[in-house]
Amino acid sequence: MGLFKFIKDAGAKIFGASPAQAASAETLQKELASHGLPADVQVSVSGDKVSVSGSAMTTEEAERIILALGNTVGVGEVESNLIVNSEVPASTMYTVKKGDTLWKIAELHYGKGKGPKYTEIVAANSPPVKNPDLIMPGWVLRIPPLG
């Protein structure tokens, strides 16, 4: 799928991670499992770069795996070599900026007057969005195409 950039000091703080280095591969696989994502993918870590390979059932699942890994402290980039079994149109990736709201992001990507579609963005981003009123600058979010 390619190389995805993240902000190293933004995201979930997990054991063994620091702004200088990602957590261990084993810890990152546990992070995937905690979000209900397949833990049978292979994860390797080199400094702030995480590589992931294996297979994902759908494009959405692959994107969620990438975001779950990348939205942790210490990860600057995720290299994805995931093989997707069922391809669908890819989502747009968006890095949250200071002052952003999900409503504003929805209107930016879906068009003026489409702010109520922010619920589509929330549904597509677990992790990291648990509370739609609380998003953090630096998070990378999936913006799914409107169906």
Across 30-59, average pLDDT = 91
Question: 103 and 41, same structural domain?
Answer: no
Segments in 35-73 forming alpha helices (H): 59-70
* Sequence letter at residue 127: P
Which domain CATH number covers 110?
3.10.350.10
List the domain range (segments joined by +) for residue 110.
92-143
Provide the pLDDT confidence category of residue 132 given band limits of 50, 70 and 90. Answer: confident
Percent of the chain predicted with pLDDT > 70: 98
Count of domains for the chain: 2
DSSP single-letter state for residue 85: E
For residue range 71-130, list pLDDT tens digits in order. 999 999 999 999 999 888 889 999 999 999 999 999 999 999 999 999 999 999 876 788
